[in-house]
């Protein structure tokens, strides 16, 4: 061929330990699922696979919502689908904003014609103040409150309990971004009365990136059906997806069949482990990593009491480039961690503790790598990160 390529055919991808906040490593069973024979999107065996995927998603979302499925696009698409279906011209939306992904919600809402966007701001590294959110709901009586459960850019877990009551009292819907939390952080959708909750396949669920699980309450579905204007997006019209995934399976798009196989297997692994046990596992490894990071003399970015168990964030010491350390871990240990998003991008690390990647060996390797990197740039770590983590592991029983 004439095309000049970076990688000749015989070059393979490197084998990485994925400790960024997604994608996480996939379990061998998920890889095997990916190479099941490809069938048509109307094949009876595939329709059965879709139904199983939906049933497993209900278990993981802890919901009975009939409209529970996975969108054929990456995690961010769930956010767009949720907002574009719930909002229409003339509506007000309240967005709780203390991070990069909440800002994306604002961006998406701002693009929608005739939607009034009310932002309740918060400091990065902290949750948005509950009272400010509640009072905005009472004051603006919006169509929806949009809020991020686990803000991947800061490592903060936003408390959600009790928000629904105020939303529903004001006839507003509660829309929750659970991209970085579903399957790794406690999130009982029905108990918390969340109306639209979306996630990504490649984080705590450890399926390959490319699908966006979503669940929609009956209340939200009724609101969508009562719209006065059509949903601006055909691709993300949730009613069309609900019909495709539901019993009549009417055609909307050609399902990404192999991605659904992979997601189904990843969900089976979640359900076999048990949602609660999996969450406990995420908490344990996040605690060990957090302790280790502090033992190294580093400061966690997310404030105490609101640290999410699936993403640990830490500030870089003065004079250290987060990017250079990321590169060092990638090149020397094949371990991937992330730098910050937005303004602080080179001033902090974001380390994922997600799904199949959330293992003791991986946590120890990250801590060892960070220690080595700090020495490389001439700093003396405060203490041994690995030893501090080991102590957590010794004293905690899952």
- Toward a copy of itself, which CB reaches closer, 2 or 304? 2
Check residue 385 and give left, alpha or beta (phi > 0: left; psi -120 to 50: alpha).
alpha
Token pair for residue 295? 């033992």
Q: What is the DSSP letter of 177?
A: E
Closest CA to 174 of 141, 139, 143: 143
Cβ proximity to a copy of itself: between 91 and 336 the closer is: 336
Handedness of CA 121, 125, 126, 127 (dihedral sign): positive
Q: Please, what is the minimum distance in Å from the beta carbon of residue 88 to a copy of itself?
A: 10
For 387, half-sphere exposure in the C-beta direction (CA atoms, 13 angstrom radius) is 6
Kindly state the smallest distance separating residue 237's Cβ from a copy of itself, in Å: 8
DSSP 19: -
**Three-state secondary-structure class, residue 68:** strand
108 or 160: CB nearest a copy of itself: 108
- φ and ψ at residue 107, rounded to 5 degrees: -60, -50
Report the nearest approach of a copy of itself to the CB of residue 119 (Å). Answer: 16
Q: How far is the CB of 397 from a copy of itself (least distance, A)?
A: 24
**Residues forming beta bridges with residue 93, ordered by sequence position:** 117, 144
User: Helix or strand or coil: residue 215?
Assistant: strand
| Listed residue (151, 181, 144, 188) closest to 166, CA to CA | 144
Name the helix (H) or strand (E) containing 45.
Answer: helix 44-61
Chain-centre distance for alpha carbon 141:
28
- Residue 299 Cβ, how far from a copy of itself at the closest point, in Å? 24
CB nearer a copy of itself, residue 70 or residue 164: 70
Using CA atoms, how far residue 169 sits from 111, 138, 225, in Å, is: 28, 9, 20
Q: How far is the CB of 182 from a copy of itself (least distance, A)?
A: 15
Residue found by looking up tokens 């209900």 in the block? 58
Q: Minimum distance from CB of 58 to a copy of itself (Å)?
A: 8
Distance CA 330, CA 268 (A): 30
Of 182 and 257, nearer to a copy of itself (C-beta) is: 257
Closer residue to a copy of itself, CB minimum distance, 202 or 291: 202
**With respect to a copy of itself, which residue has the nearer C-beta, 168 or 249?**
249
Q: How far is the CB of 168 from a copy of itself (least distance, A)?
A: 28
What is d(CA 142, CA 349) in angstroms, rounded to the nearest whole number? 36
Nearest to a copy of itself of 30, 197 (CB atom) = 30
């Amino acid at each position: 061929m004439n095309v000049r390529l970076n990688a000749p055919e015989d070059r393979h991808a490197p084998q990485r330990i994925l400790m960024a906040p997604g994608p996480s490593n996939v379990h061998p069973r998920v890889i095997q699922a990916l190479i099941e024979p490809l069938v048509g999107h109307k094949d009876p065996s595939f329709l059965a696979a879709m139904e199983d995927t939906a049933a497993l998603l209900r278990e993981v979302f802890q919901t009975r919502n009939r409209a529970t499925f996975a969108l054929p696009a990456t995690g961010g698409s769930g956010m767009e689908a949720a907002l574009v279906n719930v909002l229409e011209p003339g509506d007000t939306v309240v967005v709780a904003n203390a991070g990069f992904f909440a800002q994306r919600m604002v961006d998406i809402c701002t693009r929608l014609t005739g939607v009034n966007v009310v932002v309740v701001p918060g400091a990065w590294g902290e949750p948005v103040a509950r009272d400010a959110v509640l009072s905005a709901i009472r004051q603006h009586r919006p169509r929806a409150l949009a809020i991020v459960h686990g803000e991947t850019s800061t490592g903060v877990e936003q408390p959600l309990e009790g928000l629904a009551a105020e939303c529903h009292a004001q006839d507003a819907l509660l829309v929750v971004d659970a991209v970085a939390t579903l399957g790794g952080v406690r999130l009982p959708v029905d108990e918390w009365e969340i109306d639209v909750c979306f996630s990504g396949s490649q984080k705590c669920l450890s399926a390959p990136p490319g699908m966006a699980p979503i669940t929609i309450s009956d209340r939200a579905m009724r609101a969508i059906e009562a719209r006065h204007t059509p949903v601006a997006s055909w691709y993300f019209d949730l009613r069309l997806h609900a019909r495709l995934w539901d019993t009549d399976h009417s055609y909307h798009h050609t399902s990404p069949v192999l991605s659904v196989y992979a997601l189904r297997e990843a969900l089976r692994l979640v359900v076999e482990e048990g949602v609660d046990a999996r969450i406990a596992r995420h908490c344990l490894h996040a605690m060990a990593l957090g302790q280790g990071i502090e033992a190294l003399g580093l400061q966690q970015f997310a404030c105490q009491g609101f640290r999410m168990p699936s993403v640990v964030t830490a500030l870089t010491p003065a004079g250290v480039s987060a990017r250079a350390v990321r590169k060092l871990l990638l090149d020397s240990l094949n371990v991937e961690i992330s730098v910050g998003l937005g303004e602080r991008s080179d001033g902090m690390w974001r380390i994922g503790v997600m799904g199949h990647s959330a293992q003791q060996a991986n946590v120890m390797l990250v801590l060892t790598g960070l220690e080595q990197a700090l020495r490389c740039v001439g700093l003396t770590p405060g203490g041994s990160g690995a030893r501090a983590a080991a102590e957590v592991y010794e004293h905690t029983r899952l």
